[in-house]
Amino acid sequence: MDVGTISLVLMLGLVVLLAIGMPLGFASAFMAVVVLLMKFEPALLMDPTLWGEGILTGRPGSGPLNILSQRIYGDVMTSYVLISIPLFIFMAALLERSGIAKDMYSSLNIWLNRTRGGIAIVTSIMAVIMAAMSGIIGGEVVLLGLIALPQMLRLGYNQNLAIGTICASGSLGTMIPPSIVLIIYGLITETSIKALFTAAFLPGFMLASFIIIYIIIRTRLHPEDAPLPELQPGEPVGAEKAKLFGGFMAVLVAGFSTALCLRALFFTVTGQNDVIEGVEPIFWGTPADVPWFAGLVAISLALIFFVFGRETTARGWALGKGLVPPIVVIGVVLGSIYGGITGITEAAGMGAISVLLIAIFRGEASFDLVWDSLMRTLKSTGTIIWVTIGATALAGAYTIAGGPTYVANLILGTDLPTMGIILIMMLILLFMGAFMDWVGIVLLIIPVFLPIVQRLPIEEIGFLGQLEPRYIAIWFGVVFCMNMQVSFLSPPFGPAAFYLKSVAPAHISLTDIFKGFLPFICIQLCALSVLLIWPPIVTILLK
């Protein structure tokens, strides 16, 4: 059977199976079998009595089925990086169920509550910090819905602004490392996950800054959308608050500088940072780094004792100490990756252990906390793994049938300009993102689209600057993640809406939630446009 017919049957079959409620993993696996039968034993579809006489069923352990099993088991399921996914999910579950996130929100709120739109800005900053800790989306939206939404509604914030801020900010885990979306993309496309993380930093924080800028502008133009809370007795304001914050930051810088200085001294004493030709030196771990860290410690101590004062510093620390555990977790996870200490999987394990130790230190750890977190990890990981198996089987079957080559020739044969082809891909990704889970899209669509992008004239990609050929897969991965960022808010099946609905007050309907998304979807599309117009933005930190 020709590939065009197989492609049409595949598309219609997936739509029908998903429409009747079949899980994506099972629907993909079923269509993988159908694709193989249509390609290699089409007669078996009409006459089941021919079982055992064709290339598929005659020798089940060989031929296309053997190639498919090797792709699923050998290329994906045995990948060491895949272990990081349940570890990051477990870390996010612990964060959600402990009081770490709540204390972080309270500390941020202290410093920004007298700013117009401050609660919404705090929510966005908290979402960025949580994204940098675990890279999980659903848990962030639920947690922000439990902590921030009641407070914003109580203070009289515009409902649409509150809803949109929570869901758009809570979805930043798609873009900001350590993003699970980037991990799966890197695994499927055999792209360096560390390079993907580095490339996604600027676009991720750019999107977060767009959201915060929008909040600031909107609340300045419409102050009634974000009333200021009443001033509480004894609450610091103005210069007093700035001095308290300065004292807190001085202690924070002194502590981290001391830790980094001791680390560099340890490497120096043990000889682990000796300069070896062809080997990259330890990041912030060389003898030349020691004076810098020692200088920072000295300056911080001088500020504490001679500028802010011990009493002010102690009070500032008490107000802001809720930010310390999240910063420690981020330092453990991202610091171990970029410091060359561990890989992605080990960093995920260290992050999970650090969160558990912090919960024990705070007296919040219990059997129920760990058990509930493990159960959520099991359910979420099981869903991702089954979708991965089914979608990998379907992508493999379609590849064996010649599907990617057919689609590539079909698209490239349209004689559209390079950016026209890329825009068509963006529209397809945005459309599919409104109806399908991101795991299925990255496993089914990316193996088809990425080879096409790699065949396009690189000098015609974007309008400002030019990508180097080695960065094409990385750039497309970041662009894909930005598309998935939009998909989390896109009606009718935007997951963020359903996550928030599960914890929102009864008077807030799904229609209200999707209505609040509209300006934030426009912000996400603006960020996507920046990546398409100026592709080299993803390579700034890679060079």
Is there a domain that residue 2 lies in? no
- Angle between helix 84-97 and 100-112 (nearest 10): 60
- Looking at residue 58, its pLDDT comes to 60
Q: Cα–Cα–Cα angle for 410, 411, 416, nearest 5°? A: 130
> What is the residue whose two structure tokens read 């034993």?
41
Mapping DSSP to helix (H, G, I), strand (E, B) and coil, where does residue 327 land? helix
List, in order, residues 6 or more apart from 464 with CB less than 8 Å away. 533, 534, 536
Confidence of residue 533 (pLDDT cuts 50, 70, 90): very high
* Higher pLDDT pick, 46 / 411: 411
- Residue 472 inside a domain? The answer is yes
What one-character-per-residue DSSP string does 286-312 give?
A: SGGGHHHHHHHHHHHHHIIIIII-HHH
Q: How far is CA 6 from CA 50, 67, 404, in A?
A: 21, 19, 12
Q: What percent of the chain has pLDDT over 90?
A: 20
The string of pLDDT tens digits covering residues 99-134 is: 888 888 888 888 888 888 888 999 999 889 888 887
Residue 121: inside a domain:
yes
Angle at 506 between CA 504 and CA 512, to 5 degrees: 70
239: which 2 tokens?
A: 């210069």
pTM for the model = 0.85
Specify if 451 maps to a domain: yes
Flag the least confident range among 51-60, 82-91, 238-247, 409-418: 51-60
pLDDT on residue 75:
65
Is residue 333 a part of any domain in this protein? no
The answer to whether residue 131 sits within a structural domain is: yes
* CA angle at 383 for the pair 380 and 386, rounded to the nearest 5°: 145
**Arithmetic mean of pLDDT over the chain:** 84
Label residues 398-432 b or e (16+ Cβ within 10 Å = b). Answer: bbbbebbebbbeebeeeeeeebebbeebbeebbeb
Q: Which of 484, 372, 389, 359 is nearest to 93 (CA)?
A: 372
Query: Which of 316, 174, 172 lies closest to 253 in space, CA to CA?
Result: 316
Degrees (nearest 5) of the Cα angle 248, 332, 442?
Answer: 120
Per-residue confidence at 46, pLDDT binned at 50, 70, 90? low
pLDDT at 56 (0 to 100) = 64
Q: Could you give the CA distance from residue 226 to residue 508 in angstroms, rounded to a whole number?
A: 18
The whole domain housing 488 covers: 110-136+150-226+406-542
Position 281 in a domain = no
Alpha carbon of 430 to those of 206, 425, 491: distances in Å? Answer: 20, 9, 11
pLDDT score at 188: 84
Res. 51: pLDDT tops 80: no
Phi and psi, residue 540, nearest 5°: -60, -45
- Angle, helices 324-338 vs 344-361, to 10°: value is 160
- Please report which confidence band the pLDDT of residue 489 belongs to, taking 50, 70 and 90 as the band edges: confident
Arithmetic mean of pLDDT, 457-477: 89
Q: How far apart, in whole angstroms, are the C-alpha atoms of residue 109 and residue 496?
A: 24
CA distances from residue 416 to 33, 88, 420, 451, 460 in whole angstroms, order as listed: 34, 41, 6, 17, 12
Helix (H, G, I), strand (E, B) or coil at 340: coil
Cα 481 from Cα 437, distance rounded (Å): 13
Confidence of residue 161 (pLDDT cuts 50, 70, 90): very high
> What are the tens digits of pLDDT across the range 339-389?
767 888 888 889 889 989 988 888 888 888 889 889 988 888 888 888 888
CA separation (Å) from 106 to 122, 162, 252? 9, 17, 17
208 has a pLDDT exceeding 90 = yes
365, 367, 346: which is closest to 355 by C-alpha? 365
Give residue for tokens 């910063």. Answer: 327
In-domain check, residue 67 = no
Higher per-residue pLDDT: 65 or 507: 507
The model's pLDDT over 263-318, given as tens digits with 9 standing for 90+, comes to 888 888 877 766 666 666 777 778 888 899 999 999 999 999 988 888 999 999 98
Number of separate domains in the chain: 1
The phi and psi torsions of 143 (rounded to 5 degrees) equal -65, -45
Is residue 200 within 8 Å of 175, Cβ to Cβ?
yes
d(CA 503, CA 153): 14
- Please give the structure tokens belonging to residue 193: 């996950």
DSSP string, 34-96: HHHHHHH-HHHHH-GGGTTSSTTTSSTTSHHHHHHHIIIIIIIIT-GGGGHHHHHHHHHHHHH
Q: Which of the residue ranges 190-204, 230-244, 354-368, 511-525 would you say has the lowest mean pLDDT?
A: 230-244
- Straight-line distance from the first to the last Cα atom of the chain, in angstroms, rounded to the nearest whole number: 48
Phi, psi of 391 (to 5 degrees): -70, -35
Report the range of poorest mean pLDDT among 183-197, 263-277, 417-431: 263-277
- For residue 538, the model assigns a pLDDT of 92
CB 458 within 8 A of CB 477: no
* φ, ψ dihedrals at 259, nearest 5°: -60, -45
Residue 96 backbone phi and psi in degrees, to 5: -65, -35
